[in-house]
Amino acid sequence: MKLRILGCSGGIGGGLRTTSMLLDEDILIDAGTGVGDLSFDELMKIDHVFLTHSHLDHSSSIPFLVDTCGFFRDKPITVHALEETIQILRDHMFNWMLWPDFCVIPNAEKPFMRYEAFSLGKTVDMEGRKITPLPASHTVPAVGFHLDSGQGSLVFTGDTTVNDPLWEIVNRIGNLRYLIIETAFCNREKELAIAAMHFCPSMLAEELEKLKRPAEIYVTHLKPGEVEVTMKEIERDAAEFNPCMLRNGQVFQF
């Protein structure tokens, strides 16, 4: 498996892109603004989108991806998500007011897009690439993902706050290599982090104490304008875990 980071920021500006990752050539893990940097040929190869949750920084490129490529494809793009997340997309995105409903364009028999609901903890096997939704704790229904090639695993927490059920599962992953975990706010904004159900560096350090397996740790979702101060706090508060900042364009093979 090859995971390419298309976007990993908590905002935009100055070349920053929001959360989106390309798994091999045909699967998106989230679809934030980073998807827009792909070429048309690269976009045309995407058959599946696995969505952690409905927030726009993770989903905003889905309408444009489908609108750009749908006419030229011979099968629909499949959006995989929790049933609750699918309902949010139906009600608030593909509702003919914010964007057309591509599940019935050009017609219901041959649409440009389709939904497929997944269940927490139930593995989806994509031709030997195993994708398992993991528990997340956020302001809307949300998941993280365990990506397993058989040779190695990567865990992406998605947007979450304190999340004991996640670590119970992660600590059983024998071939874990990489952990991508969020931290959205610096320590002076801890109250905001708690209210928004994100991490700040001190909370991240406490959460990483629950990890009992070795893994390379990468921090995502840093807010523009606070990247430097937040990473300094992470490097201090979570020093024993040697976390690195996730960067756009980074590639993981496992």
| Sign (positive or negative) of CA dihedral 8, 10, 11, 13 | negative
Dihedral angle sign, alpha carbons of residues 81, 85, 36, 111: positive
Residue 193 vs residues 17, 39, 80, 109, 226: alpha-carbon distances, Å: 21, 35, 28, 44, 13
Write phi, then psi, for 106 (nearest 5 degrees): -75, -20
Q: What are phi and psi of 28, to 5 degrees?
A: -95, 135
For residue range 183-235, what is the model confidence (pLDDT) as tens digits?
A: 999 999 999 999 999 999 999 999 999 999 999 999 999 999 999 999 999 99
Contact 31, 61 (CB under 8 A): yes
Amino acid at position 209, single letter: E
Domain extent listing, the chain:
2-253
The residues pairing with 21 across neighbouring beta strands, listed in sequence order, are 5, 29
| 159 within 8 A of 121, measured Cβ to Cβ | no
Reading the chain (254 residues) residue by residue, the pLDDT tens digits are 999 999 999 999 999 999 999 999 999 999 999 999 999 999 999 999 999 999 999 999 999 999 999 999 999 999 999 999 999 999 999 999 999 999 999 999 999 999 999 999 999 999 999 999 999 999 999 999 999 999 999 999 999 999 999 999 999 999 999 999 999 999 999 999 999 999 999 999 999 999 999 999 999 999 999 999 999 999 999 999 999 999 999 999 99
Tell how far CA 154 is from the center of its chain: 12
Residue 28 buriedness (CB in 10 A; 0-12 / 13-18 / 19+): buried
- Taking alpha carbons only, the member of 166, 164, 165, 146 closest to residue 155 is 146
- Give the neighbor-by-neighbor strand order of the sheet with 176-182: 124-126, 129-135, 143-148, 153-156, 176-182, 216-220, 244-245
Q: CATH fold of 2-253, please? A: Metallo-beta-lactamase; Chain A (3.60.15)
Residues near 27 by beta carbon (within 8 Å), at least 6 away in sequence? 46, 47, 48, 49, 50, 126, 129, 131
